[in-house]
């Protein structure tokens, strides 16, 4: 006997490090709605992104594939329309699929399997943000991060990010009620917000949740001379090695980030409340995650673009029918979401579709529903700005190994050294572990071939982008379809019918 498969509502933050949430134990940051989901669901304590940058991470998350397999190298890499995503597969399983919010799709396909998209994106869809690995040490001032976000942190009544997230929440909540009225089978709704991504600017009501004197400062700060070579390039790229920031500016940035984390958490609460009002909560698996984290001054670094814990780890909380409450320490990553969703879809007795491409993730559904998960691995790849060679990460068990052809390797024992203060790659007691990881990197990746392909695609995209600036521009930016003549009440409608149609719960007649 089959029953309707659970709905899926995935709520995604941007640049949210789990270390800076109450749900993951931060003593100050208030995240009551994430806390509540974790209390009745499963909190994954060792979840990673597969690329610590927005677009590559999201393309990997949607496809279940590592970024080097689909050439999703940077924030201006095209996401090929021929790459199947979880939205494609869930549609084959009878799901209605909708995206509200950011996914930073680059290229003319702005749906990638979603049946509907109810907002535009917040970032451009073209090739403008293409790095240049042949001039890897040169800043591209127009779009590279700098320290302005830290120096200008504070309070504002509104920002483009606040306006965007209000729109994302509104249309997501409206869509939940639409699905409840239609009763047309299970749905998968992705609501993807921009907060707490920099600029670190918050509305007063969220800022005032925190007293500045309570805001903790970074636990471990390194000057440029004490950094590893890749971190030195990051500091140079974001101008942290040239532009000094005061303790007050650092505290303000962290204060605003905490405030915006609470703001994002409030949106989680709004969506969960809407599911409850729509009578859908009991049959909906709610997943909360992020595309990557934020260093927020730890190690003297900001933003993301590296594989240290605050940049590479993400929150991952799942709650809903079948989920056994608890926490899990197994290393996992965003590529695991696609196979997990397919297992959720199959929970109603449906048949999984044939995969259009091999996937790199494993399903977490057996683990979160009370079974075993023998997997304990996360793989990361970074091929974007401020690098000239690919950077690879392997997290397995207690160890994390980071490799780049241009730099000395790094090995950390995260159980003994959670702040990653001691690089064990040259330690005699760990030489066998480091050698085994080095051999695995060599076997898993052809770094030089990847580098050549990155540079090739960069040249292609710069040429296309340059041409698109000449003559008439045809924008790839998504323009949500709306027909005002069919909205609310119009003269060709009976207003009483319109009122009854949109009222929920419906009147019993």
Does the pLDDT of residue 1 top 50, yes or no?
no
- Give residue-wise pLDDT tens across range 315-359: 999 999 999 999 999 999 999 999 999 999 999 888 999 999 999
Query: Measured between alpha carbons, how far is 292 from 306 in angstroms, rounded to an integer?
Result: 10
Sequence-ordered alpha helix ranges (H) in 64-190: 86-92, 148-151, 160-182
Assess if CATH 3.30.365.10 describes domain 7-372.
no
430 catalytic, yes or no? no
Residue 261's SS3 state is helix
The mean pLDDT of 458-481, rounded to a whole number, is 94
Residue 498's SS3 state is helix
Task: Strands of 329-441 (E only): list them.
Answer: 332-333, 377-382, 391-396, 399-404, 410-413
Query: Measured between alpha carbons, how far is 143 from 130 in angstroms, rounded to an integer?
Result: 10
Q: Which one is catalytic: 49, 54, 98, 332?
A: 54
Query: Measured between alpha carbons, how far is 33 from 256 in angstroms, rounded to an integer?
Result: 19
Q: In what order do the strands lie in the sheet with 116-117?
A: 116-117, 96-101, 187-196, 7-14, 284-290, 316-319, 42-44, 326-328
Tokens encoding 429? 């007691």
Query: Measured between alpha carbons, how far is 261 from 189 in angstroms, rounded to an integer?
Result: 21
The mean pLDDT of 104-133, rounded to a whole number, is 96
Q: What's the DSSP call for residue 224?
A: G
Residue 2: predicted pLDDT: 47
54 catalytic, yes or no? yes
Q: What's the DSSP call for residue 174?
A: H
Closest to 388 (Cα-Cα) out of 73, 161, 61, 69: 73
- Give residue-wise pLDDT tens across range 481-506: 999 999 999 999 888 888 888 889 98
- Give residue-wise pLDDT tens across range 418-429: 999 999 999 999
Per-domain residue ranges for the chain?
7-372
Does the pLDDT of residue 143 top 70, yes or no?
no
- Give residue-wise pLDDT tens across range 369-413: 999 888 999 999 999 999 999 999 999 999 999 999 999 999 999
Helix axes 337-346 and 54-63, enclosed angle (nearest 10): 30
Q: Which one is catalytic: 49, 88, 98, 104?
A: 104
List Cα–Cα distances, 408 to 289, 298, 301, in angstroms. 32, 21, 19
């Amino acid at each position: 006997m089959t029953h309707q498969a659970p709905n899926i509502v995935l709520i995604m933050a941007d640049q949210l490090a789990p270390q800076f949430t109450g749900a993951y134990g931060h003593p100050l940051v208030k995240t009551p709605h994430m806390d509540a989901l974790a209390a009745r669901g499963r909190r994954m304590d060792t979840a990673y992104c597969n690329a610590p940058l927005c677009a590559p991470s999201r393309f990997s998350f949607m496809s279940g594939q590592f970024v080097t397999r689909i050439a999703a190298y940077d924030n201006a890499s095209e996401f090929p329309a021929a790459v199947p995503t979880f939205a494609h597969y869930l549609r084959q399983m009878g799901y209605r699929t909708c995206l509200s919010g950011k996914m930073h799709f680059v290229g003319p396909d702005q749906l990638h399997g979603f049946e509907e998209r109810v907002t535009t994106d917040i970032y451009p869809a073209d090739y403008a943000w293409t790095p240049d690995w042949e001039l890897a040490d040169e800043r591209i001032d127009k779009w590279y991060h700098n320290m302005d976000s830290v120096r200008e942190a504070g309070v504002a009544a509104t920002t483009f990010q606040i306006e965007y997230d209000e729109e994302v929440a509104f249309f997501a909540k409206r869509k939940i009620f639409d699905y409840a009225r239609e009763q047309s089978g299970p749905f998968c709704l992705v609501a993807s917000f921009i907060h707490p991504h920099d600029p670190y600017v918050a509305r007063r009501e969220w800022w005032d949740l925190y007293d500045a004197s309570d805001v903790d400062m970074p636990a471990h700060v390194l000057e440029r001379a004490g950094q590893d070579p890749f971190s030195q390039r990051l500091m140079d790229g974001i101008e942290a090695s040239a532009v000094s920031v005061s303790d007050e500016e650092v505290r303000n940035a962290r204060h605003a980030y905490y405030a915006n984390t609470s703001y994002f958490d409030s949106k989680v609460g709004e969506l969960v409340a809407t599911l409850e009002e729509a009578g859908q909560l009991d049959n909906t698996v709610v997943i909360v995650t992020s595309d990557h984290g934020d260093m927020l001054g730890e190690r003297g670094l900001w933003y993301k673009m590296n594989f240290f814990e605050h940049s590479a780890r993400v929150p991952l909380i799942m709650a809903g029918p079948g989920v056994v409450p608890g926490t899990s320490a197994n290393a996992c990553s965003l590529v695991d979401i696609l196979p997990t969703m397919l297992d959720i879809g199959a929970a109603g007795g449906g048949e999984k579709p044939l995969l259009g491409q091999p996937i790199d993730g494993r399903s977490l559904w057996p683990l979160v529903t009370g079974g075993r998960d023998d997997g304990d691995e996360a793989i990361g790849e970074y091929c974007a700005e401020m690098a000239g060679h690919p950077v690879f990460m392997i997290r397995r068990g207690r160890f994390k190994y980071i490799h780049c052809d241009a730099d000395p390797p790094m090995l950390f024992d995260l159980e003994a050294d959670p702040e990653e203060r001691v690089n064990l790659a040259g330690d005699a007691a760990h030489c066998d572990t480091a050698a085994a990881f080095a051999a695995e990197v060599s076997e898993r990746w052809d770094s030089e071939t990847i580098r050549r392909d990155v540079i090739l695609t960069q040249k292609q995209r710069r040429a296309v982008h340059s041409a698109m600036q000449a003559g008439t521009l045809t924008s790839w930016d998504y323009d949500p379809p709306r027909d005002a003549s069919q909205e609310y009440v119009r003269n060709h409608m009976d207003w009483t019918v319109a009122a009854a149609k949109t009222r929920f719960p419906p009147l019993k007649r």
